[in-house]
Each structure stands twice: as structure tokens, then as C-alpha cells.
Amino acid sequence: MIKIIFMFIFFIHSFLAFSAELSLINTREGKKLAFIEKRKDYFITEWDILVEPASKTTESSDKSNSRRFGRWKDGIIPFVVDDSIPNKDRIFQAIDYFHENTKIRLVEKTSQSDYVFFKNNGSSDCSSFIGKKGGKQVIHISDWCEKGSIIHEVLHALGFNHEQSRPDRNKFIKIHWSNIQFKYIFNFFRSPFARSYGEFDMDSIMLYPSFNGFAKNPDKPTMSLRTGETWMAQREKMSEQDLMGLEEFYNPEFE
């Protein structure tokens, strides 16, 4: 009996510590179940992916979800930069990177109704929706978000998911569930809207590091290769596979 009581207490404590809720969200494939976390006036999953609970949309907007969450026409993203963001150069450095290395073009907004708004998010997170959402689409820029992290967030807006969330990831990496803080476990579930390209890419700018802030013991990894090896995340540039995946996704033949 005492053992059962302790197990019950542990379960209640764990449940209360869990920071996410299971909710239907809108994706380009329609409504999907996912664990989401409320931050300020928005919802997030996988630490930096903005999501829109299905309950927040109207019936008329529901009908167009699968169309709206997807590619930007001709790879062109109109944008506006929040005047209150400090050190705006980091945003323009990220934009220059896309112009110099890809066919994607970010252009200053004029009369376009669909555009990205780089919004000041203070000391909080850098975060972005997956793919084109339609209308004014926020990319949060925190004080610590530098050029490489901004490239990462823009790739989310272009339709890219985290590499470690791809459906086939278990063939390549191991998730160390026992070393993940319970309230952050949902960040390591495979994504309900993940799209992957080629083999698992250890060099991808979309891959999180083995050692991160989700760990119970920061000296131990939350993820490793199946062989036990760990890795550092890079936020310098897109990998060759990132570049090929972007080119494939924005190939006119697939429009």
C-alpha cells in the first residue's frame, strides 16, 4: 500500500511538472495532435516552433489550412523588421546569407498581404512557424539570437523541421529519455508534421546538440548516435544536404 501511495504521489508531481498540453494544432497537412507549451501570448513546441491551436481558428480559415501552411511562391518572402529590435545587422546578415547561397529572396514588404515580421522577443526565445502560414507571420528574435540562429528560424518559415524530429530518426540516433527533465520530454517526440530530405544529416543547421538545457544531468547527453557518439550543433551555415533539400522543396516543378 505504501508503495502504491508513493507511486501515486510521484505521478501527480510529474503531471504537475509537465509544462505542455496535448492539443490539436493546424499544420499544412490539416489538424494534428501535438504537445504544446504556452509562452506569453503564443504557443510553442520543440523549444522554437510556433504553433496555432486549432481552437484559435475559424471554420472558414480551417478549410484553407492545408493550402496555407506550405511554400512561399517563387521562394520570395516579403518581410518587415520590428523597429525595437537591437542590432538589426544580424537579421540582414542572415538575409544576405540566403541571397548569396540559395535562390530564396527576402524582400522588404510593400503591399503584400503575406509576409514575415521579425519581432523583438527580448530575453525570451527565437521561434518561428513551419512553412508559410498566411497573413502576418511572426519570427521571434531574442536578444541572444545571432545570424546562424536566425537562418535556422527562417528555414522553419520556409518549411524545414528539426533534423532530430524526422520520422526515421530512430534508425540513426538514440533519445536518452531518462536524462530528459520530465517537463521537456515532449520536445523530443517525433514531429507530426516533419518532412525530411536524404539521409540523417549530422551537419544540418536544423539539428540540436547532444548536450542541451533539457537534460537532468548536463554532463550527460539527451541524444547520441546509435553507436553512443555525441555531437555539437553548428549554427554557422546550411549543410550541403540543407541546401539540396531547400532547392528541391522550392523547385518550380513542385509548385
Residue range 96-155, pLDDT digits in tens = 999 999 999 999 999 999 999 999 999 999 999 999 999 999 999 999 999 999 999 999
Question: Which positions are annotated as active-site residues?
Answer: 153
Q: Is the pLDDT of residue 67 over 70?
A: no
Provide CB contacts within 8 A for 83, sequence distance 6+: none
Q: Is the pLDDT of residue 212 over 70?
A: yes
35-45 mean pLDDT: 89
Structure confidence at residue 40 (pLDDT): 86
Structure confidence at residue 54 (pLDDT): 77
Domain 71-255, what fold? Collagenase (Catalytic Domain) (3.40.390)
Select from 185, 190, 189, 234 the least CA-distant residue to 214: 185
75-86 mean pLDDT: 98
For residues 205 and 213, is the Cβ–Cβ distance under 8 A? no
Pairing of strands 115-120, 76-81: parallel
Q: Is the pLDDT of residue 21 over 60?
A: yes
Structure confidence at residue 234 (pLDDT): 96
Q: Rounded mean pLDDT of the chain?
A: 86
Of all residues in the chain, the percent with pLDDT exceeding 90 is 70
Select from 184, 130, 176 the least CA-distant residue to 20: 184
Would you kindly state where each structural domain of the chain is located, as residue ranges? Answer: 71-255
Which strand (E) or helix (H) includes residue 52?
none
Structure confidence at residue 147 (pLDDT): 98
Return the ∠ at Cα 152 (arms to 117 and 84), rounded to 5°. Answer: 35
Sign of CA dihedral 49, 116, 157, 255: positive
Select from 168, 160, 132, 157 the least CA-distant residue to 246: 160
How sure is the predictor about 19, in pLDDT bands with cuts at 50, 70 and 90? low
Structure confidence at residue 3 (pLDDT): 40
Higher pLDDT, 38 or 203: 203
For residues 71 and 159, is the Cβ–Cβ distance under 8 A? yes
Q: Is the pLDDT of residue 195 over 80?
A: no
**b/e map of 226-254 (b: 16 or more CB within 10 Å)?**
eeeeebebeeeebbebbeebbeebbeeee
Higher pLDDT, 101 or 11: 101
Pick from 3-7, 47-51, 93-97, 239-243: least confident? 3-7
Q: Is the pLDDT of residue 49 over 90?
A: yes
For residues 132 and 75, is the Cβ–Cβ distance under 8 A? no
Of all residues in the chain, the percent with pLDDT exceeding 70 is 84
Whole-angstrom distance, CA of residue 196 vs CA of residue 222: 21
Higher pLDDT, 252 or 108: 108
Q: What is the pLDDT of residues 213-248, one digit of tens each?
A: 999 999 999 999 999 999 999 999 999 999 999 999
